[in-house]
A = this chain, B = another copy of it.
Amino acid sequence: MAARKSKATPNPAQREDGSRSKKTPRGGTDLDARNSAADDLTVRLIRDSAQVVHQHIGQQRKPDLAFPIRSLKNVRYSEKKGYFEIGNQKKVRALTVNTVKSFAQTLRMMGLSKELVESNDFATKRDAYYQSKNWEEARFDEQTESDAVMDDIEAMFSLQGVSREQLRFIPDEHGGAVSGRLIVLDPDRETGRVERIDCTRFGSGAYSIPSLVEQLSFETDAKFILAVETGGMFQRLQSHKFWQTADCILVSMAGVPTRATRRFIRKLSDECKIPVYAFVDCDPYGVSNIYRTLKVGSGNAAHLSQFFCVPQARYLGVTPQDISEYELPTHPLQDVDIKRAKDALKNDPFFKLHKPWQQAINQLLQMGVRAEQQALAKWGLNYVIEEYLPRKLAHPEHFLP
């Protein structure tokens, strides 16, 4: 193992900063130094924002905070960057009699983030909401309110290259499962001692991705990452050790991949320079929700895409072409499928830019059917391992973009 170690691809915060931390690193490794540098930057950015507010008050001027507008209308997509980017439109929250509560809440939420970084801890959206119950007049009455404030702060700092995870806000949802030719290095949050987690050694089980993956680094000699839609297919590939014969890393997305799963794949692929192939159902949902979200992000969370999407991902299958070539059992497209496919062709910047995708989606609409990845079981339960995947993997140049 360990042919390729994760290279010090600087994380986004470091790109902005460039400097190394002056704090004593927790464990003395490069990794710690990199994480400390990112943490220092996060704290400095929070402090800077607060100081501007403080100065304005000192000068008897009305302080304000400007947040990017989070909506599909404020999104850019270029093939070169490879992900949905948030645009330039902003909303300004000035301190007035009417906004005093939400203004105070925003500052307290930024203060919570600073505390979390300094104590090396984290909070989910739920945690943050309940924390606020002790903020007296600044407490939130509903979690939807605190969620919106957290999203705004996240969007504001994303412009400076800081991700939500660097602010120490983590998702409530679980991460995906991983197995195969990969060692994950995870420093202990207290002692800094690095745990080496060998993903070939989980038997029929797997490694479950933590909610926060920024601190991880990797060693691998795998040739590619295979991101699999369903738990059932992942279990088949894992139990038959497909990763051994194919020299790869398997990731179970279990539907639309969670944020931690996407960030994990992105970081792993970036740092170890290995390609990512997606293996999902051939239907408008698999293509335009699961694959598109994995690759370029989603419209209403474009401020996250720079960190979470995997622009290098390519689509192995199941393709409309596969349906006829492998004579797969199909289901007819429902109205909702047809609507989703037509929407993708008409409104989605990603599909509008990629001709091969327009052809594939049109082909699917003409055929009027969809097929699940497990439909390959028609030819035998392990046909997918023995025939389908090896044939596909011999020609990555045929994968859809």
Question: Using a CB–CB distance below 8 Å, which chain A residues touch chain B?
Answer: 121-124, 126-127, 130-131, 133-134, 170-175, 177, 184, 186-189, 195, 197, 201-212, 215-216, 230-232, 234-236, 238-240, 252, 254, 329, 372, 374-382
Contact = CB atoms under 8 A, between A and B. Distances in A.
A369 to B, nearest CB: 14
29 contacts: A121-B381, A127-B232, A127-B236, A127-B374, A130-B329, A130-B372, A130-B378, A131-B380, A170-B232, A172-B230, A172-B231, A174-B177, A174-B231, A174-B234, A184-B203, A186-B202, A186-B203, A186-B204, A186-B205, A188-B203, A189-B240, A195-B203, A197-B202, A197-B203, A205-B209, A208-B208, A210-B235, A211-B231, A212-B235
Nearest to A375: B130
Q: How many copies does the complex hold?
A: 2
A254 B122 CA distance: 19
Nearest to A205: B210
Contact of A184 (B121, B205, B238): B205
A252 B188 CA distance: 20
Contact of A215 (B189, B204, B234): B204
B204 A207 contact: no
B126 A232 contact: yes
B215 A210 contact: no
Contacts of A205: 175, 184, 186, 197, 207-210
A204 B204 CA distance: 21
Nearest to A173: B231
B232 A374 contact: no
Nearest to A126: B374
A121 B385 CA distance: 13
A230 B127 CA distance: 12
Contacts of A235: 122, 124, 170, 210-212
